[in-house]
């Protein structure tokens, strides 16, 4: 599904995945079940509002029931946990997503552990994290790394035996991405290196990579000289930088200096239009899976 040139079109691949989901959703509805997803947002972070809005829109397009609960920035951890306990009991809701970031007084790990594993469509509950590490396919995988794996598979990128370098060791992308790609499984079976802020000579590691995944949150960190000619480059970063020429005075860039890296790469994801649409598509897929399990 690679478009002309060397771009991996995340929007087109996500649209293909969503078209497949429409058939599964129709099958569920024929049995009287509509997949349901709850979004919980704490505070008025502008980016969070945009992200939840996009997810709500996709739910509406696919025929997935959704509802959004918005709590104030000052909401206590106990009140948030109480809301999650209530949502856990609602049969209409097959999935629950708590939008990050959360206010500093709320412990993220406690929140993720409160959502029932079978409704944890974000893939962050300790049970689902454990299943991921064990290669147990019955768990839910975090949406962004799962989306990247699906993106690579549908773009016909070989992973078996190749060198993958992941820039970033976060719990949302870096660590789960490494766990997925090193499994002895289809669309995996790679040799994986994780680089981070304490890694010596990151450039040398990057130059060795057949697949380079940038997820460290540093604007345009990956330069052309860091990329092996012909490598596949996946840009996960979303960073706002100052740009006096822009109407808003700023613009969004990825972790890859796209203009200079694209001519070197064999295949590369655009940003936007690469990983982002796949993250949402995988969230929808996890929600549909959660609903299918209830009716199995």
What domains are defined for the chain?
32-116 (3.40.50.10860), 143-276 (3.40.50.720)
Q: Kindly give the interhelix angle for 143-154 and 174-181, rounded to the nearest 10 degrees.
A: 40
Q: Has residue 1 got a pLDDT over 80?
A: no
Residue 162's alpha-carbon distances to 14, 157, 295, in angstroms, are: 25, 10, 39
Average pLDDT over residues 119-124: 98
Quick: pLDDT tens for 265-285. 999 999 999 999 999 999 999
Task: Please give the pLDDT value at position 247.
Answer: 86
**Average per-residue pLDDT for the chain:** 96
In the block, residue with structure tokens 């290196």: 193
Task: Please give the pLDDT value at position 153.
Answer: 98
Q: Has residue 3 got a pLDDT over 80?
A: no
Quick: pLDDT tens for 177-230. 999 999 999 999 999 999 999 999 999 999 999 999 999 999 999 999 999 999
Task: Please give the pLDDT value at position 59.
Answer: 98
Quick: pLDDT tens for 10-65. 999 999 999 999 999 999 999 999 999 999 999 999 889 999 999 999 999 999 99
Report phi then psi at 97, rounded to 5.
-125, 120
Give catalytic residue positions: 55, 99, 122
**pLDDT-derived band of residue 240, with 50, 70 and 90 as boundaries?**
confident
Task: Please give the pLDDT value at position 4.
Answer: 47
Query: CA-CA distance, 269 to 172, in Å (whole number)?
Result: 19
Report phi then psi at 15, rounded to 5.
-65, -40
Task: Please give the pLDDT value at position 2.
Answer: 39
Query: CA-CA distance, 197 to 199, in Å (whole number)?
Result: 6
Task: Please give the pLDDT value at position 292.
Answer: 98
Report phi then psi at 154, rounded to 5.
-80, -15
Identify which has the larger pLDDT, 127 or 272: 127
- What's the CA dihedral at 118, 119, 121, 123 to 10 degrees? -50
CB 176, CB 141: distance < 8 Å:
yes
């Amino acid at each position: 599904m690679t478009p002309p040139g060397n771009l991996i079109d995340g929007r087109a691949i996500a649209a293909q995945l969503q078209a497949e989901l429409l058939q599964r959703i129709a099958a569920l509805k024929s049995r009287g079940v509509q997949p349901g997803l709850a979004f919980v947002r704490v505070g008025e972070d502008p980016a969070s509002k945009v992200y939840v809005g996009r997810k709500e829109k996709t739910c509406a397009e696919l025929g997935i029931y959704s509802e959004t609960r918005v709590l104030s920035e000052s909401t206590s951890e106990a009140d948030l946990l109480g809301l999650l306990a209530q949502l856990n009991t609602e049969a209409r809701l097959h999935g629950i997503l708590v939008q990050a970031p959360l206010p500093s007084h709320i412990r993220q790990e406690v929140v993720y552990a409160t959502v029932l594993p079978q409704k944890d469509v974000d893939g962050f509950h300790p049970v689902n994290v454990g299943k991921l590490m064990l290669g147990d396919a019955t768990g839910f995988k975090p949406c962004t790394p799962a989306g990247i794996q699906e993106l690579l598979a549908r773009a016909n990128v070989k992973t078996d035996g190749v060198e993958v370098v992941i820039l970033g060791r976060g719990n949302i992308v870096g660590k789960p991405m490494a766990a997925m790609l090193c499994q002895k499984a289809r669309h995996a079976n790679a040799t994986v290196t994780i680089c981070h802020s304490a890694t010596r000579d990151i450039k040398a590691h990057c130059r060795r990579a057949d697949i380079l995944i940038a997820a460290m949150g540093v604007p345009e960190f990956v330069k052309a000289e860091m990329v092996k000619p012909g490598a596949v480059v996946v840009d996960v970063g979303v960073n706002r930088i100052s740009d006096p020429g822009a109407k808003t005075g700023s613009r969004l860039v990825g972790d890859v200096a796209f203009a200079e890296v694209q001519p070197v790469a064999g295949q590369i994801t655009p940003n936007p239009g690469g990983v982002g649409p796949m993250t949402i598509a995988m969230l929808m897929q996890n929600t549909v899976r959660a609903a299918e399990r209830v009716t199995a």
